[in-house]
Amino acid sequence: CKFNLKVISIPTVVSKSLQYLTVCRPYWDSSELVDFFEKTPNLKIFSTSLDTYEEDDLPLFREFLPSPQNFSIKKLILTEVNSQRLMINLFKLLPNVNYLKIEIWSLNIDGYQWKEIIINYLPKLNVLQFMINSNLDDSIDNKTDEEKIDQYLETYRTPFWIEDHQWFIRCHWKRWKNNISIRVYSLPYAFNNFPICSNEFDFKTKSIYSSEMYFSYDSVRNVGYEQHIFSDEILQHVQLPNIEILFVRLPTDHRFFSIVSKFKNLHSLSISIPKIIYQSQLQVLLDNAPRLYSLAFESWKTSKPPPYQCTSKSIHRLDLHGSSRTSRKHHYTCKQCLELSRSSLGIQCQVLHIEVKELKCILQLIYSMINLRTLYVFYECDIRGNKIDLIKVLQDYLPSKWTVTRFCYGVFIIQS
Containing 337, the helix (H) or strand (E) segment is: helix 334-342
* 136: in domain: no
Distance CA 251, CA 18 (A): 51
Q: Model-level pTM?
A: 0.89
- Give CA angle at 154 (148, 155), nearest 5°: 105
The torsion of the CA quartet 213, 214, 218, 220, rounded to 10 degrees, works out to -140
Residue 393: partners with Cβ closer than 8 Å, 6 or more residues away:
359
Domain that holds residue 279: 263-416
* 321: in domain: yes
* 3: in domain: no
Convert the pLDDT of each residue in 219-263 to its tens digit.
999 999 988 888 888 888 899 999 999 999 999 999 999 999 899
Q: pLDDT at position 162, please?
A: 94
* 331: in domain: yes
Q: How many C-beta atoms surround the C-beta of residue 317 within 10 A? A: 18
* 379: in domain: yes
Read off the pLDDT band of 4 (50, 70, 90): low
Instruction: Give the number of domains in the chain.
Output: 1
Q: pLDDT at position 289, please?
A: 97
Q: pLDDT at position 188, please?
A: 93
Average model confidence (pLDDT) across the chain: 90
* 339: in domain: yes
DSSP assignment letter at 233: T
Most confident of 12-16, 29-33, 209-213, 268-272: 268-272
Report yes or no: 174 and 205 within 8 Å, Cβ to Cβ. Answer: no
- Judge whether residue 282 has pLDDT over 80: yes
Mean pLDDT of 286-309: 96
Nearest to 120 by CA among 66, 179, 42: 66
* 335: in domain: yes
Beta bridge partners of 171: 184, 206
DSSP for 150-213, written as a single string: HHHHHTTSSHIIIIIS--EEEEEEEEETTEEEEEEEEES---SB-SS-TT----EEEEE--SS-
* 355: in domain: yes
Distance CA 81, CA 85 (A): 10
